[in-house]
Structure 1
Amino acid sequence: MTITYQINTPLTAKQAADIFISSGIKRPVEDLARIGRMLEHADILVTAWDGDQPVGLARAITDYAYCCYLSDLAVCREYQQQGIGKKLIATLQEHLGEESMLLLLAAPSAIDYYPQIGFEKLTSAFLIPRSK
């Protein structure tokens, strides 16, 4: 199995939803129109592919000069524990360059994962939650 990585290769909302479902990440997968908008308005979409099947994604919003928000990192369950998430992030960072920091909000189940791949845990974040 050879995994390839692509930047800004289009995904359908269904493909992204399937990755979210398989990965266990909580996203509004029943609302494909909303998933489509999430993809459409991302600045960067890094995807991992096993042949012609997408198996992971990193979706980000950035100004390319100072900061980048990693809004999704998801890898299909059967492809987890193989370094794909780490490689998605590395590919994103290479694309961004050295000027931008990378920031994310971690799901409670992933709190221990991110420090293992180079993220620093912060205590200075604030949130106004979505209502829907």
Structure 2
Amino acid sequence: MAEIVYKEIHEFKKEDLQDLFLSVEWSSGHFPDKLQIAMRNFETVISAWDNEKLVGMICAMDDGIMTAYIHYLLVNPEYQDKGIGKHLVNKVKDIYKDYLRIVVVGYDEEVGFYENCGFEKAEDASPLFITDLWT
């Protein structure tokens, strides 16, 4: 494995996005055309590369002054436990250091990772979703 290079870009090949998202078994990987558009629309996109291979990514949205939301954080399983995810989070924390809060919705098995990155679990809040809009 070469040195991981981090890039702040918004243009990606469909195949690169598809490979990364499906590597972590995220269903959005089945919609690479939509992912390409989504990457263009995020305020912040930081990607991790091993030569020409997209191995990780973090994407955030913000309101311009107070709150930023981490929407995607994923690292190809072959590259996990190498500090890539934490490095991506730290880059987002630096970008939004003057904001009042950075919000992330993590699955239960991810809570420990985010706590290690400085996040605190809200005791009085629960995430709410609508995902099946077309059923």
TM-score by length of 1: 0.86
Q: Specify every segment of 5 or more residues in structure 1 that has no aligned partner in the other structure, as ranges.
A: none
2:27 is aligned to: 27
Q: Distance in 2 between matches of 1:34 and 1:27?
A: 12
Q: Report the Cα offset of residue 125 of structure 1.
A: 3.6
- 5+ residue gaps, structure 2, are none
Find the aligned partners of 2:97 and 2:113 in 1 and give their Cα distance. Answer: 23
Residue number in structure 1 paired with 2:86: 86
Q: Between 78-87 and 62-71, report the one with greater CA deviation.
A: 62-71
Q: Where do 1:62-73 residues align within 5 Å?
A: 62-73=62-73
Normalised to the residue count of structure 2, the TM-score between the two structures is 0.84
Range 71-80 or range 36-45, more displaced: 36-45
Moved more, 48-57 or 73-82: 48-57
Secondary structure of the residue that 2:92 maps to in structure 1?
Answer: helix
- Alignment-derived partner of residue 102 in structure 1: 102
Give SS of 1:28's match. helix
The structure with the largest alpha-carbon Rg is 2
Q: Deviations over 1:91-129 (max 9, x none)?
A: 122222322521111123312221122111113244241
Equivalent residues in 2 for 1:1-40, closer than 5 Å = 1-24=2-25, 26-40=26-40
Alpha carbon RMSD of aligned pairs, Å?
1.8
Point out which structure has higher relative CO (alpha carbons under 8 A, 6+ apart). Answer: 1
**Aligned position for 1:129:** 130
